[in-house]
Amino acid sequence: MSKPFSVYVHVPFCKARCGYCDFNTYVADFGLGANPASYDSSVAIEIERARSKVGAREVQTVFFGGGTPTLLSAATLGRILQKLRRSFPFAPGAEITTEANPETVTEQSISALAQAGFTRISFGMQSALPHVLATLERTHRPQIVPQVVQWAKEAGLEVSLDLIYGTPGETIADWEESLHTAVQMQPDHLSCYSLVIEGGTKMAGQLRRGKISPVDPDEQADKYKLADQLLSRAGYRWYEISNWARPRRGEEGVVATLLQNACKHNLAYWRDWDWWGFGPGAHSHLGPKRFWNIKHPLAYANALRAGKPVVAEDETVVGETKRLEKIMLGIRLAEGISLTEVDASGAKRAYQWGWLESAAYGAGRVVATLQGRLMADSLTLELLGKKQ
Tell me, yes or no, whether 222 and 367 share the same domain.
no
∠ CA 357-363-369, nearest 5°, is: 10
The number of domains in the chain is 2
Estimate to the nearest angstrom the gap between the alpha carbon of 278 and the chain centroid: 16
Is 144 domain-assigned? yes
Tell me, yes or no, whether 247 and 112 share the same domain.
yes
303 has pLDDT over 90: yes
Please tell me the total number of residues recorded for the chain in this structure: 388
pLDDT band at 284 (very low <50, low <70, confident <90, very high): very high
Query: In this predicted model, what pLDDT tens digit does every residue of 25-44 receive, in sequence order?
Result: 999 999 999 999 999 999 99
Tell me, yes or no, whether 79 and 222 share the same domain.
yes
254 has pLDDT over 90: no
Tell me, yes or no, whether 237 and 156 share the same domain.
yes
Q: CA 183 to CA 233: how far, in whole Å?
A: 10
Q: CA 244 to CA 257: how far, in whole Å?
A: 10
Strand 311-316 and strand 158-165: the pairing is unpaired
Query: C-alpha distances in angstroms, 66 versus 22, 63, 165, 275, 386?
Result: 11, 10, 20, 17, 36
Look up the domain containing 78 and give its range: 5-271
Tell me, yes or no, whether 266 and 326 share the same domain.
no
Strand 59-66 and strand 90-100: the pairing is parallel
Is 48 domain-assigned? yes
Tell me, yes or no, whether 126 and 228 share the same domain.
yes
Average pLDDT value over all residues in the chain: 96
Tell me, yes or no, whether 174 and 63 share the same domain.
yes
Average pLDDT over residues 115-122: 98
pTM of the entire predicted model: 0.96
